[in-house]
């Protein structure tokens, strides 16, 4: 029987894990190992993927992958276990209490003034970024979705000189599965931080310690930060911190990153272990008596065999030994074993496989999970039922329910856009516009009164105020949209969207995980492109990168709003929605095309953890909004302002640098005239439109500011509505802005970046042509 055949609420014990290569290792690392107990929670609304409960957390798998896992039915055992555990008496150390494992102030410290580097390593959603923000006082984006931290970020610890912490992408194990996981693994392996701060989600110690054990094998000084203790304690659970310290051999500090509890103590310990270079006291987790000790003997034999090679390759011996047994090709090749040694090694491994009755990777995973089981049994008193879990289940009944998931999704997204564009954002925008107008009026009067030179006067009022001002007034809308997107992400909802959209996305050749970059793309393409690093397959990643620019980013919103207000105020909503949908539709068509041509093959497997819903922290959200606002203001006053001034200058002078009376004979008109013939068939041949589109390449908002300068006051009297509509469609689809192209180049290389620019202009031209044709015939 396989996992696929189980029904809802069925419980079974895994007997065999099929699949191969990296995917299989990923299964094992996520706790899908022989002997583990799984319960089916639910199927996605479209019947696939399936949500499972394993080791006390929620995992999603596709049915195809579930079919590779063999199980035998079982009665639920967890109830029995819980009762047995409750009998034992436990101490209940509070937050920040508990024994210190290591003697303070002994040993052989690093010289004073050495830079202490720390790596912040932990599972996804364990609160690394929240802690990082606490430690450094900066504001990195925090989210409750696997993989929001896509690049490493560093900063010094507040009030501690000579320190540097690095926030790394979340990983589940030291065998990398997606490209961002490689970032984390390589950082720890190659850059050799002075110490590791391993952040462990205390509500889910069972799964989180799997990574901890591999980190301990690295032999790098380390402290464990038990995060989310507020939830554990709040639910009546507790963790025997002292016992855990003894079992793990490193200091364990209970903290709550979001409530800032225990963080100061954590810092003290971290700096101490780094300064005195106190290595973990324990690296040996295999039990001599476990299943006859086959794994134990194998590990030790191999550790001896490869010791000299590991030392030469500068890889920790214990870590190398377990990786060799798992069959990690990278580590094996780095060790450079000779033929004899390889054969001996293979022989030892085979012997172990026979004795243990499990294959190599499963045997190691099993050894780790048995140790973890022991740690949990001895230290963790689980609450009866976590409030957060119960709450999540209640919410999920609707948000991922069979019939309710999609309607809720559409409803929620609709609500977000409605609130952004017609309620909150629009109201704030009105306020800001009034302010800018008033300011512009005052400046105008003041300059007239002072008799300022006419050219400068023109530059400031018709150039800067009109141009930058028109863009600036969109700040509220952009911040509001980011606010909602980050709330969705932070709460854990977007992970659910990935879960129930997987089947749909697979039709166009992608996996559910691709929905995340796409949704972020509605905010801005740059972070969206970076977020694709969480996707485990290169093929999915490339395809997603190429599709995200079709999502209407917030920089395009000013263009939409501007033309809608000028031409079609009565159809505002319809056109706004239409543009968003047109972008999505184009992406779908193109995805079909890609799937049939450049990107044949299957979407990557979908193995993902579903975190509990969490209330987004006010501090985190506020920080993010401030960042976005700052970012936007910087753009408005740098790129957009420069573009505005350049455009104003070029349209005011001719090639002899004389002020022109009619901008038709200006330098700008000449330059744009070169592009005009290409744009004429779609009715955008006017040099002013061409100019605005060119400046839009710098920043999309510039399309509006340029049009404002070039057309002057009322645009609706000089441009036909059909032209406006075509221009909207063209702006939606044509090349992404420079920043986005640069991020695409970083991810995929120059060739692709150039292709994207050309390719999207062609697509935009074709679609605009069709739309125009349709409009002309209809109207
Ligand atoms: P990362 O993926 O490891 O970087 O995790 P994040 O820092 O993005 O946090 C994931 C989620 O956990 C966010 O919704 C945080 O608000 C929440 N969170 C982080 N630390 C704590 C904590 O100590 N207690 C509680 N209750 N929630 C936390
Ligand atoms: Mg993070």
pLDDT of residue 151: 55
Sign of CA dihedral 507, 511, 513, 518: negative
Ligand 1 atom with the smallest distance to the CA of 149 is 4
Q: How much of the chain is in helix, strand and coil states, percent to nearest 5?
A: 60, 10, 30
C-alpha 168 to ligand 1 mean position (Å): 14
Please list, in sequence order, all residues whose beta carbon lies within 8 angstroms of the beta carbon of residue 741, skipping any fewer than 6 positions away.
Answer: 735, 753, 756, 757
Place of tokens 């645009």: 715
Residue 227 Cβ < 6 Å to ligand 1: yes
Would the pLDDT of 367 be above 50?
yes
Nearest CA to ligand 1 atom 28: 258
C-alpha 592 to ligand 1 mean position (Å): 37
Query: Can you name the residues that pair with 42 across neighbouring β-strands?
Result: 51
Residue 127 Cβ < 6 Å to ligand 1: yes
Would the pLDDT of 199 be above 90?
yes
- Tell which residue, 119, 139, 123, has the closest CA to residue 186: 119
pLDDT digits (tens, 9 = 90+) for 467-483: 788 778 778 877 888 78
Helix (H, G, I), strand (E, B) or coil at 227: strand
Sign of CA dihedral 208, 211, 213, 219: negative
Would the pLDDT of 87 be above 50?
no
> What is the Cα–Cα distance from 450 to 440, expressed in whole angstroms?
15
pLDDT digits (tens, 9 = 90+) for 490-512: 788 988 998 999 998 988 888 88
- Tell which residue, 152, 212, 221, has the closest CA to residue 182: 152
pLDDT of residue 526: 82
Neighbours of 677 (CB within 10 A): 10
DSSP state of 259: T
Residue 485 Cβ < 6 Å to ligand 1: no
> What is the Cα–Cα distance from 158 to 151, expressed in whole angstroms?
21
pLDDT digits (tens, 9 = 90+) for 324-334: 998 888 889 99
Residue 142 Cβ < 6 Å to ligand 1: yes
> What is the Cα–Cα distance from 451 to 374, expressed in whole angstroms?
84
Would the pLDDT of 103 be above 70?
no
Residue 607 Cβ < 6 Å to ligand 1: no
Ligand 1 atom with the smallest distance to the CA of 167 is 4
C-alpha 609 to ligand 2 mean position (Å): 15
The residue among 411 and 56 whose pLDDT is bigger is 411
DSSP state of 99: -
Considering only 277-281, 385-389, 706-710, which range has the smallest mean pLDDT? 385-389
Considering only 129-138, 146-155, 219-228, 707-716, which range has the smallest mean pLDDT? 146-155
CB 225 within 8 A of CB 199: yes
Would the pLDDT of 222 be above 60?
yes
pLDDT of residue 619: 75
pLDDT of residue 628: 76
DSSP state of 659: B
Please list, in sequence order, all residues whose beta carbon lies within 8 angstroms of the beta carbon of residue 426, skipping any fewer than 6 positions away.
Answer: 477
CA atoms within 13 A on the CB side of 202: 31
DSSP state of 102: S
Residue 488 Cβ < 6 Å to ligand 1: no
Per-residue pLDDT band for 77 (boundaries 50, 70, 90) equals: low
pLDDT of residue 159: 87
Rounded mean pLDDT, 774-779: 90
Considering only 149-153, 431-435, 445-449, which range has the smallest mean pLDDT? 149-153
Mutation pick for ligand 1 pocket among 130, 168, 616 (CB with most ligand atoms within 8 Å):
130
pLDDT of residue 776: 92
C-alpha 485 to ligand 1 mean position (Å): 17
Per-residue pLDDT band for 737 (boundaries 50, 70, 90) equals: confident
The residue among 176 and 488 whose pLDDT is bigger is 488
Would the pLDDT of 773 be above 70?
yes
The residue among 150 and 290 whose pLDDT is bigger is 290
Would the pLDDT of 528 be above 80?
yes
Helix (H, G, I), strand (E, B) or coil at 404: coil
Cis peptide leading into residue 49 (ω within 30°): yes
Would the pLDDT of 412 be above 90?
yes
Share of the chain above pLDDT 90, in %: 36
Would the pLDDT of 383 be above 80?
no
Pairing of strands 37-43, 50-54: antiparallel
Q: Identify which of 113-122, 132-141, 181-190, 634-643 has the greatest average pLDDT.
A: 113-122
Rounded mean pLDDT, 285-296: 82
Per-residue pLDDT band for 668 (boundaries 50, 70, 90) equals: confident
Considering only 143-157, 536-550, 650-664, which range has the smallest mean pLDDT? 143-157
- Angstrom CA distances, 640 to 454, 463, 553, 669, 692, stand at 23, 11, 17, 20, 12
pLDDT of residue 267: 94
As a three-state string, the secondary structure of 135-180 is HHCCCCCCCCCCCCCCCCEEECCCCCCCEEEEECCCCCCCCCCCHH
pLDDT of residue 325: 92
CB 673 within 8 A of CB 737: no
Place of tokens 């997107």: 485
- Mean per-residue pLDDT of the chain: 85
Residues whose Cβ atom is located within 5 A of ion ligand 2: 128-129, 148-149
Helices (H), 327-423: 329-335, 339-356, 360-379, 387-399, 405-418
The dihedrals phi and psi of 501, each to the nearest 5 degrees, come to -90, -5
pLDDT digits (tens, 9 = 90+) for 299-348: 999 999 999 999 999 999 999 999 999 888 888 999 998 899 999 999 99
pLDDT of residue 462: 77
Would the pLDDT of 78 be above 80?
no
pLDDT of residue 632: 77
The dihedrals phi and psi of 378, each to the nearest 5 degrees, come to -85, -20
Would the pLDDT of 625 be above 70?
yes
Share of the chain above pLDDT 70, in %: 94
Helix (H, G, I), strand (E, B) or coil at 613: coil
The dihedrals phi and psi of 121, each to the nearest 5 degrees, come to -120, 140
Q: Identify which of 16-30, 629-643, 721-735 has the greatest average pLDDT.
A: 721-735
pLDDT of residue 152: 61
Per-residue pLDDT band for 760 (boundaries 50, 70, 90) equals: very high
Would the pLDDT of 557 be above 80?
yes
C-alpha 140 to ligand 2 mean position (Å): 8
Residue 204 Cβ < 6 Å to ligand 1: no
């Amino acid at each position: 029987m396989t996992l696929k055949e189980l029904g809802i609420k069925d419980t079974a014990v895994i007997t065999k894990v099929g699949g191969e290569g990296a995917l299989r290792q990923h299964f094992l690392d996520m706790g899908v190992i022989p002997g583990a107990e799984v319960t089916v929670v639910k199927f996605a609304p479209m019947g696939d993927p399936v949500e499972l409960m394993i080791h006390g957390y929620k995992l999603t798998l596709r049915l195809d992958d579930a079919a590779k896992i063999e199980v035998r039915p079982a009665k639920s055992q967890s109830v029995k276990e819980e009762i047995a555990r409750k009998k034992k008496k436990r101490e209940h150390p509070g937050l920040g209490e508990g024994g210190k494992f290591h003697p303070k102030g002994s040993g052989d410290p690093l010289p004073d003034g050495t830079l202490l580097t720390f790596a912040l390593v932990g599972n996804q959603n364990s609160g690394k970024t929240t802690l990082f923000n606490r430690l450094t006082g900066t504001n990195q984006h925090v989210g409750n979705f696997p993989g929001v931290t896509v690049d490493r970020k560093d900063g010094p610890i507040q009030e501690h000189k000579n320190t540097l912490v690095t926030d790394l992408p979340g990983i589940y194990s030291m065998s990398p599965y997606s490209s961002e996981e490689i970032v984390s693994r390589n950082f720890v392996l190659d850059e050799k931080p002075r110490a590791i701060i391993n952040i462990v989600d205390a509500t889910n110690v069972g799964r989180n310690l799997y990574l901890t054990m591999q980190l301990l094998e690295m032999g790098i000084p380390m402290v464990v930060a038990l995060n989310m203790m507020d939830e554990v304690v709040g639910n009546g659970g507790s963790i025997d911190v002292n016992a855990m310290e003894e079992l793990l051999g490193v200091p364990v500090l209970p903290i709550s990153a979001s409530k800032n509890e225990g963080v100061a103590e954590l810092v003290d310990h971290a700096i101490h272990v780094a300064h005195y270079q106190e290595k973990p006291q324990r690296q040996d987790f295999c039990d001599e008596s476990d299943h006859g000790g086959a794994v134990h003997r194998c590990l030790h034999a191999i550790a001896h065999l490869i010791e000299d090679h590991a030392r030469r390759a500068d890889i920790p011996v214990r870590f190398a030994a377990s990786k060799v047994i798992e069959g990690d090709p990278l580590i094996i090749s780095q060790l450079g074993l000779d033929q004899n040694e390889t054969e001996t090694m293979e022989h030892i491994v085979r012997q172990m496989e026979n004795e243990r009755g499990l294959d190599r990777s499963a045997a190691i995973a099993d050894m780790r999970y048995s140790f973890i089981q022991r740690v949990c049994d001895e230290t963790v008193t689980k609450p009866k039922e976590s409030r957060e879990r119960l709450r999540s289940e209640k919410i999920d009944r609707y948000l991922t329910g069979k019939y309710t998931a999609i309607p809720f999704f559409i409803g929620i997204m609709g609500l977000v856009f409605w609130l952004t564009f017609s309620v909150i954002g629009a109201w704030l925008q009105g306020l800001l516009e009034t302010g800018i107008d008033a300011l512009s009026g005052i400046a105008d009067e003041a300059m007239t009164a002072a008799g300022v030179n006419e050219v400068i006067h023109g530059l400031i009022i018709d150039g800067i105020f009109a141009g930058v001002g028109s863009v600036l007034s969109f700040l509220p809308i952009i911040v509001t949209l980011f606010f909602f997107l980050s709330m969705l992400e932070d709460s854990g909802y977007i992970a659910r969207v990935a879960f129930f959209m997987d089947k749909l996305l697979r039709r166009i050749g992608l996996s559910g995980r691709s929905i995340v970059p796409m949704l972020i793309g509605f905010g801005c393409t740059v972070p969206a492109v970076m977020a694709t690093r969480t996707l485990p397959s290169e093929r999915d990643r490339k395809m997603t990168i190429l599709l995200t620019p079709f999502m209407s980013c917030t920089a395009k919103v000013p263009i939409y709003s501007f033309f809608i207000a000028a031409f079609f105020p009565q159809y505002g909503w319809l056109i706004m929605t239409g543009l968003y949908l047109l972008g999505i539709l184009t992406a779908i068509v193109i995805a079909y095309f890609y799937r049939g041509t450049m990107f044949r093959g299957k979407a990557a497997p979908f193995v993902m953890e579903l975190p509990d819903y969490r209330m987004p922290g006010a501090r985190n959200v506020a920080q993010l909004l401030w960042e976005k606002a700052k970012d936007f203001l910087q753009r408005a006053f740098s790129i957009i302002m420069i573009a505005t001034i350049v455009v104003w200058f070029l349209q005011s002078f001719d090639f002899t640098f004389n002020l022109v009376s009619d901008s038709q004979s200006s330098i700008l008109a000449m330059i744009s005239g070169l592009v005009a013939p290409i744009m004429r068939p779609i009715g955008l041949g006017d040099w002013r439109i061409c100019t605005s589109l060119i400046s839009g390449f710098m920043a999309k908002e510039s399309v509006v500011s340029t049009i404002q300068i070039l057309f002057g006051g009322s645009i609706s009297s000089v441009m036909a509505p059909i032209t406006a509509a075509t221009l909207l469609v063209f702006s939606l689809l044509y090349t992404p802005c420079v920043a986005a192209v640069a991020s695409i180049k970083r991810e995929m290389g120059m060739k692709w970046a150039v292709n994207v620019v050309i390719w999207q202009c062609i697509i935009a031209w074709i679609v605009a042509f069709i739309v125009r044709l349709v409009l002309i015939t209809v109207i």
